[in-house]
A and B are shown apart, each in its own frame.
Chain A
């Protein structure tokens, strides 16, 4: 398991290669988020952010079979096209890997203390939280949404 909140970029291929060598791993699901349209600055709450991500990963491990997992989230100055976030989950089967990866992303967006400030043509502005993100996280509260 690896959780990193960092300024620097990451390499998806290297991160997946670094996963535990476990012959039971049959599926790796990954998600990479990128900056869209405008440059931004990402602020975070050092210490709490890492703890919040660790709690989200623990919750995913309680719900699905997760054999290895890496979450990397960048902070600082980012420009359009830059990678912001990586979630990679290894499991025996794709159902658990896909579900855990999506769950971690959905919860990260509503629970991990990061704040985006966009630097658009009209100047800088803090991005407002979207209710659609709360909805995306909320749907996981239904206990039937576990791996079948």
Chain B
């Protein structure tokens, strides 16, 4: 299953990239499962995605909780809590 994964702010800086097209196993059906999948890359990925509370997610540009479903073709984004205004 192919996904577009985007990273913003401190998450982007820590990972050194802002976007990636990735192929993941079909069993990766939620935001939480994708996080775990990316964490297994180790190194910076491990440290960014292990601190659960500090990384928020969006699916197709809508804020999403850990249990939110993801499917082929989705745009999933990871970022720290927002600080605008």
Contacts and interface: CB of A to CB of B under 8 A. Distances in A.
Interface of A: 33, 42-45, 47-48, 51-52, 73, 84-85, 105, 108-117, 126-129, 133
Contacts of A128: 80-81, 83
B9 A115 contact: yes
State the main secondary structure of chain A at its contact with B: mixed
Contact of A44 (B6, B62, B84): B84
A43 B63 contact: no
Given A45-B61, A52-B63, A126 B85 contact: no
Contacts of A111: 63, 82
A115 B83 contact: yes
A132 to B, nearest CB: 12
Contacts of B80: 115, 126, 128-129
Interface in B37-85: 58, 61-63, 77, 79-85
Contact of B58 (A48, A84, A127): A48
6 contacts: A43-B8, A45-B8, A73-B84, A110-B82, A113-B82, A115-B82
A112 B9 contact: no
Residue of B58, B77, B79, B85 with highest tally of chain A CB at under 10 A: B85
A113 B8 contact: yes
Interface of B: 6, 8-10, 58, 61-63, 77, 79-85
Contacts of A108: 84-85
Nearest to B77: A45
A116 B6 CA distance: 18
Contacts of A73: 84-85
B77 A116 contact: no
A47 B8 CA distance: 13
A28 to B, nearest CB: 20
B63 A114 contact: no
Contacts of B6: 45
Contacts of A45: 6, 8, 58, 61, 77, 79
B13 to A, nearest CB: 8
